[in-house]
Amino acid sequence: MTDLAGRANAPGEFLTLATTHYENFPVGSCLVPRALRRHVHRIYAFARVADDLADERRDAGALGAFRAAFLAHRAGSARDVPLFEDLCTTIRELALPERLFLDLLDAFEQDLRVNRYADDVGLLDYCRRSADPVGRLVLRVFGHDDAALDTLSDRICTALQLLNHLQDLGDDLRTRDRIYFPRTDLLRFGVREDDLRAPRANAAVKALVAHWLDRTATLLREGWPLTRRVRGRLRWELRAIVGGAAGCVRAIRRADHDVLAVDTKLRGFARVRAVTGALFGPGVPAPLR
C-alpha cells in the first residue's frame, strides 16, 4: 500500500484524520457523547483515507489493497492495521451493515474510472454510494435503524456531497479532469468545459451553480425533520451539520454563485454563526427556507 494508505496503520490515526480534514460541518464533534464519538471517528476515518486514495493519489492499486485489507480484517485473517481493527470492533459491537462500507469503496473506485456524468441519475446514484452510507451508519451508531429516518438522512448527505461538488467545481476539473454535474445540464445552461477552467464564472456557469444550489437547499430542507425525529444529542449534531451546510448555501449566493473566483468554505466566525444559528434558531435555517 502507498504511504497514504499506510497512515491507517498509525495508532490513533483515525482520530487525527477525523478531526483535521476540512469539512463544511462538524464531524463527531463534542455534541456526540464520548462513548459514541470514537465510533463516528472510525467510520469517518475509513471514508477519509479511502477517498484520499482516490482523489489525492488517484491510486487504484492502493484503493484495491485498502478494500482487501478491510475484508481480511472482517474475516479475521488479518490483524495488522489498527484502523481496521478498531473499525471492525465498532462494526461487531453495533452490528453495522458491512454493505454500507463497501458502497463507499465502490463510489471511490468509480471516481478513478468515471470523470463525466451524462445525467443527474448517474450523479445522484454516485451520491447514494459516496455520501449516504455515512449518514446511515451514524444513525445506527446512535441506535436508529429505521427506513424513514434513512430517507431523511439520505437527503442531507446527498446535499452535503452536492455542496462539496459545487465548491470544488473548478478545482475538480483543473486537478482531476472531473466534472460531476451532468452533461445534460451543461448543455441546458450553455456551459462549456473551458468555462469551468476560467478564473471567474460567466453567466452560464452561474446559472448552472444556481440550479444545483437550489436543489441542494431543497434536499437540506427536506432532511431537516430528521433533527426532530432522532433522540438525544444526535439531534444537536445534525442541526450543527445542516447549519454549516446552510451557511455555505448563503455564502455561495452572496458570491453571486461565482464558485470559481470566491472561496465559499466556512471558516472562523462565519462557521460559528451558521452552526449556532441552527442550534438555537426556531426551525429550518434561513438560507434553506
Angle subtended by helix axes 234-254 and 268-280, to nearest 10: 130
The predicted-structure confidence for 216-251, as pLDDT tens digits, reads as follows 999 999 999 999 999 889 999 999 999 999 999 999
3-state secondary structure at position 264: coil
CATH 1.10.600.10 region(s) of the chain? Answer: 1-113, 116-289
pLDDT tens digits along 54-85 = 988 899 999 999 999 999 999 999 998 889 99
Q: How far apart are CA 241 and CA 155, in angstroms?
A: 13
**How far apart are the C-alpha atoms of 56 and 179, rounded to whole Å?**
16
Q: Model confidence over 251-271: pLDDT tens digits?
A: 999 999 999 999 999 988 888
Fold assignment, 1-113? Farnesyl Diphosphate Synthase (1.10.600)
The predicted model scores a pTM of 0.91
Instruction: Determine the topology of domain 116-289 in CATH.
Output: Farnesyl Diphosphate Synthase (1.10.600)
Q: What is the pLDDT of residues 187-202, one digit of tens each?
A: 999 999 999 999 999 9
Residue 198 DSSP one-character state: S
